């Protein structure tokens, strides 16, 4: 019999790639979406448009325990991938309360609903390298202490601890992926990589003159989302639940990302990138670099895309996007 997966945050970048991945593995895929997404499917379900007929969507709110209980009880999934979150770090400085409410309570409600109504369900939590924040060692592994630098990071540390505690206290199959930044042509436009590749395409087509960015010196360990959703599934399909760092082990600055993206269309980034001090964060995470040896060894996971291939994939997709959509 085919397995059943339930995904929160199915409309997001990772949710859409994970859905494709699980459908290929013959899973029955269920997703939790906000009611507005069903009412405005054309815009809000754009990443799922091509597979909508193959999945089942349930309206619910991460802020409502009752609505989550109903879906967990009804679907009794084999695996839950909890990806739903206010995921934009910069926004978490502007709206701390809703970031904490959605990210911490949402995680807690789902864990509690699984424990009470479907305790055999396996649970994946979308942890983040933002938990390392002001890093305590280089590179960062599962053993590195956390030092979050934003409410977003704090909410993810809380979710990680809740997940670990449910595993230890109630013997449930719960694990966290500590995923470093992963990007793709489906990345939201507010994140720096997509902001750059979209601007590169618009500048190339004469629709935009320049590109305002904040801290060009921030360094990230950037991978491709397609590779990272495979790791989520691997974590839920082991004998013993454990937490894993997922990363490429290579680090590049925002400047290096921009330089390469502009070069790919024959332009010099220096002529177009303008620094905007108000795009700097109140407390920045300056440098992240992951050590994913444990995942390589125990999950036999490794990324297929390198940095150049990631940037090239995003630039190519945005050239096609701008040409087709005109914006």
To the nearest 5 percent, what fractions of the chain are helix, strand and coil?
Answer: 45, 15, 35
**83, 10 contact by CB (below 8 A):** yes
Closest CA to 129 of 94, 180, 89, 174: 180
By CB under 6 A, name the one of 71, 85, 157, 311 that touches ligand NAP: 85
Residue window 191-230: x/- pattern of binding to ligand F7E, with contact defined by CB under 6 A: xxx-x-----------------xxx--x-x----------
Residue 152 annotated as catalytic: yes
- In degrees, rounded to 5, the angle at the alpha carbon of residue 91 between the alpha carbons of residues 85 and 97 is 70
SS (H, E, C) 98-128: HHHHHHHHHHHHHHHHHHHHCCCCEEEEEEE
Q: Does 129 bind ligand F7E (CB under 6 A)?
A: yes
Q: Residue length, the chain? A: 327
Q: Does 6 bind ligand NAP (CB under 6 A)?
A: no
Nearer to ligand NAP, 182 or 204 (CB): 182
Residue 173 annotated as catalytic: no
By CB under 6 A, name the one of 4, 14, 203, 235 that touches ligand NAP: 14
By CB under 6 A, name the one of 181, 193, 248, 251 that touches ligand NAP: 181
Tell the residue number behind the tokens 């809703």, with chain if given. 98
Q: How far is the CB of 164 from ligand NAP (least distance, A)?
A: 16
Residues contacting 50, CB < 8 A, separation 6+ = none
Q: Does 316 bind ligand F7E (CB under 6 A)?
A: no
Residue 128 annotated as catalytic: yes
Residue window 28-57: x/- pattern of binding to ligand NAP, with contact defined by CB under 6 A: ------x--x------x-------------
Strand-pair category, 182-183 with 174-179: unpaired
State the catalytic residues: 128, 130, 152
Interface residue list for ligand NAP (CB under 6 A):
9, 11-15, 34, 37, 44, 61-62, 83-87, 102, 126, 128, 179, 181-182, 188
């Amino acid at each position: 019999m085919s397995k059943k997966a339930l995904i929160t945050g199915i409309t997001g970048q990772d949710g859409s790639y994970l859905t494709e991945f699980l459908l290929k593995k013959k899973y029955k895929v269920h997703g939790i979406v906000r009611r507005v997404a069903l009412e405005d499917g054309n815009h809000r379900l754009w990443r799922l448009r091509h597979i909508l007929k193959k999945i089942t969507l349930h309206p619910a709110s991460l802020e409502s325990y009752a609505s989550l209980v109903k879906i967990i009880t009804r679907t009794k999934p084999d695996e839950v991938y909890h990806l739903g979150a206010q995921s934009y770090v910069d926004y978490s400085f502007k709206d701390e309360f809703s970031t904490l409410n959605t990210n911490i309570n949402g995680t807690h409600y789902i864990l509690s609903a699984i424990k009470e109504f479907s305790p055999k369900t396996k649970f994946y939590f979308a942890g983040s390298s933002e938990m390392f924040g002001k890093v305590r060692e280089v590179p960062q592994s599962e053993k590195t202490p956390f030092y979050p630098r934003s409410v977003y990071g704090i909410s993810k540390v809380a979710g990680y601890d809740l997940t670990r505690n449910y595993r230890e206290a109630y013997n449930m199959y719960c694990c966290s992926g500590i995923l470093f930044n992963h990007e793709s042509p489906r990345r939201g436009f507010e994140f720096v990589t997509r902001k750059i590749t979209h601007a590169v395409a618009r500048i190339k087509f004469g629709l935009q003159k320049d590109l305002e960015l904040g801290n060009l010196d921030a360094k990230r360990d950037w991978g491709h989302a397609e590779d990272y959703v495979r790791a989520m599934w691997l974590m839920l399909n082991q004998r013993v639940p454990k937490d894993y760092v997922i990363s490429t082990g290579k680090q590049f600055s925002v400047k290096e990302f921009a330089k390469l993206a502009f070069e790919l269309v024959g332009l010099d980034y220096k002529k177009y990138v303008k620094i905007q001090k108000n795009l700097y964060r109140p407390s920045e995470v300056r440098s992240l670099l992951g050590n994913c040896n444990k995942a390589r060894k125990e999950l036999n996971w490794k990324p297929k895309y390198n940095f150049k291939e990631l940037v090239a994939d995003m630039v190519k997709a945005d050239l096609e996007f701008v040409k087709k959509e005109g914006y």
